[in-house]
Structure 1
């Protein structure tokens, strides 16, 4: 998942912290409990979920049956499941009515559902309905879609939001298979993170099957006016009809990406790999739902310049989906591995110089996050401490970039051939299993480092704050030329004369002082048309600069951008910049009040705390 809330800010350098690695140790806890599930899936095995649900766009509810096949070898007398805001109509166990109960709602975690069972109980049927404020669900009116004719629904279950639309054991280390029957209004298409049809059903009834076990956070559903176009025999793109051709052209290399990834770390094990381009309100860059990545339309730049995000979501088919972090405190095992894998894919496809730009931009994001959180903050450890906290608080660039740079440091020490062999064996030997930090470090020590963990300062990376002193940096071959061009512009107004990629433009703008003068902003805009760019990454950064400089010619385009884009990576830094001055604050309150209904509930929650 591409969250990266801190990305997009103008970043200041954060010095590498020097500290003794022996200072940071933590006892191994291979059986550490998931603090964010109220279920007892560690006692009762949830083997399979059958869903039979209906989607009601008028009432904004999903209702129906969740049928769990269980194995209760422990002899537990009660099955506990996670719910949040669900209405439970009735429950049966092996066909007999059960007297279920719901505990009082706990902050963040919701209400535990309690169902009496016996040692030989096998089938638990739960008839339920979602609540009016289900965090996982975004209901879009026709006016909020590209086609403007039909409503749209999509889910976002990560991190602990599956429980807002399915009664389940909602933890990343709890895997199960599922099938589903979903009824939607006739004329609309339904898709899930499972085997999907490529055509609309005349009846409005769709059937799905996921034979590989997945955790609840990878359960996904989308319903709307959706078309499909194949890329090759096992990849394709879904999108609203008006977006389908653009998306298909943008993702033309996805089939090659899958083959490239397989060449690095082994076979793709999920059958098809398709991408669904969602309406603009989607709060993330992408979500790695198995077989069907959910993607933001903000990566449709027209020149395939932002498709490294698809490489990221594809890489999750190995790191995250295939081998999954046991708890949200081990989130870096998901995202750090995926960023590393993503950049290896892009290097194989685009060359080392291209990948070096991605690594450097990522390092800048890491610096900015460490500066934001504090160089000594516990939240800058790779192994998180989320006791009593929302796991979303751990979704920062620490997991992504510090995790990826840790693996790159291991690559530098052990050599690329050895780390590639190690990772290939890691994915193969732990496929469809979970992994926590301590288990991984033991495996790393045994299979690659051979007992010498000081080679890469493992304790400092995993159990220490900030950026370790041995953090690798990418070569600056292309960016050094950008740095010189920026210097010339700032000293004598000389404009760059180069055909740059979006990554080079990002580096050029990120390192600009803030604010620029009106004359400098005007010169850049007249020459390179940043205000009207179709590249969302560049646009967001330019609008931040425009707010800082009070460059009012960019304001109409900025408001249009904020009316159409729901990605938190862009919204958070831009609204943050506006809130720094009285004029900007007034503008932020007005724009947010006007367009907040276009944003996902997750984005509304975080922005609501910011814009007061």
Structure 2
């Protein structure tokens, strides 16, 4: 279970005290008890060390953990109390845990307890779930693993793990590891992850969960009330895995399952190995939002298999993943479908650049996040600008050559980390330098270390969106929504979102009422459509949508939706007071990842 020695010499990680420690972890044995009454995890983390002789101490990252004791273990497993101390506290980075080593130390056992307010953990009461039982889930990315586990919390440090987790007997525990498919009577569960992963991919969930198998290697976990809907929505899961393998090589994690979480989950999905966490907001009923699943699946190669070395290199995860996701969707549903996703992505990128500022260094692909929460790097820059760079490269060298490069890249650096400088060297050696002038035509430095979107970004267009634009033009020229209705019957969620984004901001409440009567936007069960619709209702003062908006904000925790809706609400005359009132009621339903952004915006 020893991970491979890294072949990439990574730069120091500014977000991990452990990054500078010469002694590294290689295997974790975790033993935890989940206490729903006190909202804590308690137990021990036993770390096997890869090179204990390299220094007189080992350093871990922690944040808001109570360290009760630390023991050194020799080769025979004999424990001896170890001296340790915690460094100065930082609100973002937490405290470094320094543990003294002895000459015969091969492992350390850290006894600890989490805080009820641990930022990675969300404890949900039964009323906040789809059932009658409480629920717990973790969100470790980017640097929140240290709030529930003393670890070397850098994406460039990988380890294997095993775990024993004790939960109430009527609940099921799952991890980013080999998982049980049904609960047992004891409440004791055992897990094993034999492929090395970084700490941000550590995951735990506990709840009233059931499993439905979709294929020999795919399945769905969800609360009983949600499972039938989820099973229908994700029926193409095995096809997605097979398509991904056809593009970029074998799936290396054996099992690919999804866990549908309660609606407070702050992201669309989280690519925890073997068990992707997903939001229920993609359960649209028509499988129209499953590109998110393709995205999380693609992370099994770009991110989980080859990982960004530091959070400054985050585009190496997300840019590749967005490109890969859309290739999967094109393989399954055709080029016209993928083109819609590209247009929506490019629109989001332009919006982000305008919001950040076209000249801002935060629009570079290679970020400079030292001294800041790496969560600030989770923008469309890393996702969509990264994808656009690969589209520009594809336009220059052709798909076959680019596919060969990407497939070999994943194979060459499997289970390792990659930083931007090393990747650029690899790109030049394996692709760009083989054709004189190619790097200049690509304008590589403008993409990686330049602001905004380079001038050679490939144009993006969608034939299906052209039909939507025609409908918008008809609406502007006086055609009523009811008259447009027959031509929209086959539209996907993406076409409706493009339609709503294209509506002029000058529409009156009466005009919105006509649109609502024809297309039933306010009562839509599609979160993407609602998030595009509500800003119009707020701007026009369309009161008929107010209750639906407030219900959405109280129950949905996905940050992608919450931030623009709260901003739209705050921009209305009575919005600040309304926003504060709704937020005070809704905040307990949100994860710390969401409240970390919204506290500064709303309060």
State if a TM-score over 0.5 links the two structures.
Answer: yes
- Measure the CA separation in 1 of the matches of 2:115 and 2:400: 51
- Report deviation, 1:119: 4.6
- Measure the CA separation in 2 of the matches of 1:463 and 1:75: 36
Aligned equivalent of 1:178, options 161, 173, 180: 161
Aligned equivalent of 1:59, options 38, 45, 57: 38
2:524 is aligned to 533
Residue 573 of structure 2 corresponds to residue 582 of structure 1: yes
- Report deviation, 1:581: 2.4
Aligned equivalent of 2:395, options 385, 405, 412: 412
Which structure's relative contact order is higher, taking Cα pairs within 8 Å and 6+ residues apart?
1
Aligned equivalent of 1:135, options 119, 132, 137: 119
Pairs within 5 Å for 1:321-470:
321-450=304-433, 452-470=438-456
1:91 is aligned to 70
- Report deviation, 1:474: 2.3
- Report deviation, 1:572: 0.4
- Measure the CA separation in 1 of the matches of 2:363 and 2:104: 46
1:275 is aligned to 258
TM-score by length of 1: 0.94
Matched positions, count = 583
- Report deviation, 1:74: 4.9
Residue 458 of structure 2 corresponds to residue 475 of structure 1: no
Q: Which runs of 5+ in 1 are unaligned?
A: 1-28
- Measure the CA separation in 2 of the matches of 1:31 and 1:288: 23
Change (3 A) 1:173 1:40: closer
- Report deviation, 1:73: 5.4
Q: Which runs of 5+ in 2 are unaligned?
A: 1-7, 74-78
CA contact (8 A) 2:538 2:572 kept: no
Q: Residue 125 of structure 1 aligns to a residue in which SS?
A: strand
Q: Residue 492 of structure 1 aligns to a residue in which SS?
A: coil
1:603 is aligned to 594
- Report deviation, 1:510: 0.6
2:473 is aligned to 487
- Measure the CA separation in 2 of the matches of 1:515 and 1:221: 47
Residue 218 of structure 2 corresponds to residue 227 of structure 1: no
Q: Residue 532 of structure 1 aligns to a residue in which SS?
A: coil
Deviations 1:379-399 (Å, cap 9, x if unpaired)? 000000011111001110000
- Report deviation, 1:153: 0.3
Aligned equivalent of 2:537, options 533, 536, 546: 546
Deviations 1:168-201 (Å, cap 9, x if unpaired)? 0001010000000000011000000000000102
Q: Residue 387 of structure 1 aligns to a residue in which SS?
A: coil
- Report deviation, 1:484: 1.3
CA RMSD of aligned residues (A): 1.2
- Report deviation, 1:42: 5.0
- Measure the CA separation in 2 of the matches of 1:41 and 1:204: 39
2:500 is aligned to 509
- Measure the CA separation in 1 of the matches of 2:142 and 2:159: 17
Deviations 1:440-493 (Å, cap 9, x if unpaired)? 111111111126311211000000000110111223311111111101102213
TM-score by length of 2: 0.95
- Measure the CA separation in 1 of the matches of 2:169 and 2:221: 18
- Report deviation, 1:530: 0.2
Q: Residue 426 of structure 1 aligns to a residue in which SS?
A: helix
Aligned equivalent of 1:125, options 93, 109, 117: 109
CA contact (8 A) 2:171 2:209 kept: yes
